[in-house]
Chains A and B, each alone.
Chain A
């Protein structure tokens, strides 16, 4: 099923200078009891965003009105822990389209790409520099082109290229889906089964 396309856009950023942000922080397990993919954004970073009485924690970044945008910039190893795709749904549903970090946990990265959320990897020093920059200047615009694999920060004159698997790059740009790709391969998969024999 087609996803929302993601190619060229610009946005301000939300800095989250924490490392090893795990999926239990992104969306705690007690909010996983849903049978749909929608609505998880309300509980994104729930226990950092709200106290136990449900009041907004004032010094958490998402509650600071100075910071907003479609790009989340986070410390290394973002999305470690559980395989719950609900973490990606929560990040996406909240309004982010890109997460920048110096590396992502494998399952989170796959889940993100399967939902049209770009896990964008930059060198650790550059991520730290970007966090410092947008923390000090929340109005900083970051431009991203998936087609050109490029990140630009006009105000500082910096630009970087990022790596992305060409297949996944195409999927993001055109809003394509791995499942459609695989469904079209069903007869080839059945041939593989025959050749191999005796499965299950």
Chain B
């Protein structure tokens, strides 16, 4: 009650003081753009991590927050984006085709010019995977879906481990090239510096925020709300539920695919160990903590969950091993005391506080 009231008053304030609101937004943007220039490389890379997870959380938020589908194998799509980029650029695929596995060749140079197209390749690959997984399973009830997606995540990881000829198995793919920019005669190589990735991810996140907020207010967004609240009623009113859920899945998956491509090009290395269930839960806890169904909640969740442990770790080095203990507790505590998260979506808060009872 008071939450929705507060949110409403913020909205009213923005409407009344349009000029001030613009200044605040511009100032925030300036801070976002300028901040990394003043930080140490370590803090910069933490920020890049944060943005990358924010992108992932935005994607998962579409699936879990908007459509209300619990996806525990979200990391699989991220993995697919990573591997799509790695396999093409590091040339393991062409090597496997022409020379047999294990042949040592330098990375295929021609792909450097096509790097940005590969962002699309990762996107499409993950989206296709999302639809392939979603088409049969989205007919299932919520908790079955959770466990099937969990299984899918594991299958992708095991597949990456076992298809030695293409994915180099558990050793992972190394020597993935950094992106390069050739635009209007301007040549720029990304290299190891975290800053260009920061700006790239900033743009991608902004893009995603735009797309997602618009989607949420569109016909599809309203269909998602209907499905989330009462699937049976939605279907009865003529909402094509499976198709709408597939859209949510595909959008979430393709976001993870893009994030995967950026990650692979940034760290130059992918291996199956990076894509465990823990990563899925890690992203899920961002969405939950921030506030399911709220775009800004996903960002704040990502910021809190990436940055706070880093800060604590720099003070107490042994914190690292307690991380997941704390995350687990956070998930339970948030669900008990504040199911709407830190920044609640107004509509979602109402649902979570008094929805239909199970018992």
| A and B pair up | no
A interface residues, Cβ below 8 angstroms from B: none
B interface residues, Cβ below 8 angstroms from A: none
